[in-house]
Structure 1
Amino acid sequence: MKSLLNTLYVSTDGAYLKLEGETLVLSVEKVKKHQVPLHHLGAIVCLGRVAISPALMARCMEDGRSIVWLNEHARFQARVEGPVNGNILLRQAQFRAADRVETALALSKAFIAGKLRNSRNVLLRSARDSKDEEAKAQLVRAAKSLAINLRNLAHAESAASVLGLEGDAARVYFEQFNTMIKPQMREEFEYKGRSRRPPKDTVNALISFLYALLGNDCRSALETVGLDPQLGFFHVVRPGRPALALDLLEEFRAVLGDRLALTLINRGQLRQKDFDFRPGGAVMLNDTGRKTVILAYQERKKETLQHPVLESQVEIGLLPLLQARMLARYLRGDVEAYIPFFNK
């Protein structure tokens, strides 16, 4: 199995990356700040204004190492990579599957089943940890509601039905987000309903940033196995939208995004000082906050868990790649069904 290589996240404005021998060197205003052996890196992600030397860029392309630029909100801007991975036969199978209504529906149901089950587990985990009996009861009721949606999902006969069940489950789940935050942290981290582009509170700023990091990992995983991240099955296809990456992301939002966000909040690892509050109500992580989140995200990816299908311990950071491989096997006809990732 492929070992998990580090992703280098560079969030310092004005940073310059260059190659010295077999080492990547990071400088700011011509002062060397950091260096790392290039062979330790699987990808480079630049947040904000970061420059890269042509020599380093060429070497990364030669090695098959992707370079991604995200803005300060972690929204995708550009990607540089070498030759396309995989073979045309897999992509042809993907495009044929997208044209088959029954296949698209089956995959949509699988992606959302993963999302609902993992969201339910986050609610139940928070209920077990809660010392407030009323809060515990609220979380258990919400989890039961998601279990009903999960059962109904199995009988959904159209894309509209899947979308409706997903939307209702998301509403129930996010209505309890404040309940999952410890009482002493709710003043600084009050969830006021889902808001994007821009986020309107600290919770939305945090989870949107994590979803963007995770979405980039899902996109990279799909490209690694040779799938087209633009052609999805649940999310609507439109120019510039990585629909399949968003499909795969659904399985991991709760278990890798929301749970990490709640950990950072409830342990006090993030505070209001880690956010910028902009005119007009926009809220975003500042440089210190981004570094805290990225470090925690990287550490989380190194942890291991028991994969329910492979029945072996795997690094969490490899989960998107493993699911992308399973999806490729299904599209090639090697297996009868695609099984989403369920976190126990």
Structure 2
Amino acid sequence: MRKLRNSLYITNPLAYLTLDGETVVIKDENNKITGRIPLHNLEDIVSFGYRGMSPALMRACTKKGIIVTFLSNSGRFLARVQGEFKGNVFLREKQYKSFQDKEYQIEIARNCILGKLYNSRTVLDRMRRDHKGAVDDNKLAGASEKIKVCIQKANRAENPVELRAAESEAARVYFSVFDEMILNRKDFSFHGRSRRPPMDEVNAMLSFVYTLLASMYTGGLETAGLDPYIGCFHVERSGRPSLALDLMEELRPVLADRFVLSLINKRVIKKSDFTVEEDGAVLLNEDGRKKILMEWQNKKKEVITHPFLKEKVEWGLVPLIQSKLLASHIRGDLDTYPPFFWK
């Protein structure tokens, strides 16, 4: 298994990146050097700014397979820069052909959603077990049982409409008790999912981390030789990595949501790490982004046992592993795509 390397996150919107030999040089708005990172240590570069980087550094990144992603200050995707794709053209041809088969599409989509719903129950049940007395056991147990019914519905779904209905119902139930899993009620609360824009601190964190996770899956699919823009569950749209969004559904609850809850419950994040815009949108400020990105980098390095492979891997490699498992299924080496069922 490939070794997990570091991600370089640039949170200062006025920072500019240049190349010095084989090293990334980070300069502030006054052209003062604030950091130097060897290229060989990097998996990717994510920049939350608008000054960008030198053409020489872009060229070096594309040659070394380092993907560069540009996001807005709020974490909204802007663009990706990567080098020549060197994957298997025959695999992509088979992907395109297979994904035109509606039964094949629904099979993969169903497995992704089953993974998401199963993992949603795992999050609820672990909170009941680990924080007995601090959470409303009846509420979480009731939600877990309702999602169990949704799993049965998703398993029987024969078309996208039925599958979306089961997923939507489960998401409504899951987020209806999300506030119960917040132990730091003094500073944070959750009253429903809001996306564009996020209207509270919890939603701001969820959207931010989901963006990071989607970027990991996009890179994982490209590395595995697949086209991340041709999906099975999410509607295809120009510039939207639909397949990455499909596969990341499995990790939303157990990686992204649990990560956000842990930041809140361990009081890593504070109210002062957010700003409120004139339209009511709540966004992470630079300090908040730095805290999350530092913790996210540490989270990616945590070692787990992959439920299908039964091997020790880092969380940060799971998107690549799942992408390769899907590629194996498309090639015909696996009978079905095995979703990530967190134990």
Note the residue ranges of structure 2 that are not aligned, 5 or more in a row: none
**Cα deviation digits, residues 111-150 of structure 1 (max 9, x gap):** 0011011111111111112343770121111111112211
| 2:23 aligned residue | 23
Query: What SS does structure 2 have at the residue aligned with 1:200?
Result: coil
Query: Counterparts in 2 of 1:154-169, with a 5 A limit?
Result: 154-169=155-170
Q: Cα 1:39–1:134, aligned 2, differ >3 Å: closer, same or farther? A: closer
Once the two structures are overlaid, the 10-residue window that deviates more, 63-72 or 49-58, is: 49-58
User: 2: distance between equivalents of 1:281 and 1:128?
Assistant: 36
> How far off is 1:197 after superposition?
1.1
CA contact (8 A) 2:302 2:315 kept: yes
Structure 2 residue 255 is the aligned partner of structure 1 residue 263: no
User: 2: distance between equivalents of 1:85 and 1:257?
Assistant: 30
2:3 alignment partner AA: S
| 1:105 aligned residue | 106
User: 1: distance between equivalents of 2:103 and 2:336?
Assistant: 12
| 1:233 aligned residue | 232
User: 2: distance between equivalents of 1:317 and 1:3?
Assistant: 10
Identity percentage over the alignment?
44
Once the two structures are overlaid, the 10-residue window that deviates more, 64-73 or 131-140, is: 131-140
2:324 alignment partner AA: R
| 2:148 aligned residue | 147
Query: What SS does structure 2 have at the residue aligned with 1:215?
Result: helix
CA contact (8 A) 2:135 2:180 kept: no
> How far off is 1:260 after superposition?
0.4
Once the two structures are overlaid, the 10-residue window that deviates more, 144-153 or 297-306, is: 144-153
CA contact (8 A) 1:190 1:203 kept: yes
**Cα deviation digits, residues 269-310 of structure 1 (max 9, x gap):** 111100001112100100000000111111000001001111
Once the two structures are overlaid, the 10-residue window that deviates more, 135-144 or 269-278, is: 135-144
Structure 2 residue 195 is the aligned partner of structure 1 residue 216: no
TM-score normalised to structure 2 length? 0.97
Query: Counterparts in 2 of 1:258-337, with a 5 A limit?
Result: 258-337=257-336
Once the two structures are overlaid, the 10-residue window that deviates more, 54-63 or 185-194, is: 185-194
Q: Cα 1:292–1:237, aligned 2, differ >3 Å: closer, same or farther? A: same
1:144 alignment partner AA: E
Query: What SS does structure 2 have at the residue aligned with 1:51?
Result: coil
Query: What SS does structure 2 have at the residue aligned with 1:308?
Result: coil
Query: What SS does structure 2 have at the residue aligned with 1:99?
Result: coil
1:307 alignment partner AA: H
User: 2: distance between equivalents of 1:240 and 1:171?
Assistant: 28
CA contact (8 A) 1:300 1:316 kept: yes
Structure 2 residue 11 is the aligned partner of structure 1 residue 11: yes
| 1:114 aligned residue | 115
1:214 alignment partner AA: L
CA contact (8 A) 2:13 2:73 kept: no
2:274 alignment partner AA: F
2:320 alignment partner AA: L
**Cα deviation digits, residues 246-281 of structure 1 (max 9, x gap):** 101101111111000000000111111000011121
Q: Cα 1:287–1:99, aligned 2, differ >3 Å: closer, same or farther? A: same
> How far off is 1:187 after superposition?
3.9
Query: What SS does structure 1 have at the residue aligned with 2:40?
Result: helix
2:262 alignment partner AA: T
Q: Cα 1:133–1:259, aligned 2, differ >3 Å: closer, same or farther? A: closer
CA contact (8 A) 1:85 1:223 kept: no
**Cα deviation digits, residues 209-262 of structure 1 (max 9, x gap):** 000011111111111111111100011112121111110110111111100000
Note the residue ranges of structure 1 that are not aligned, 5 or more in a row: none
TM-score normalised to structure 1 length? 0.97
1:247 alignment partner AA: D
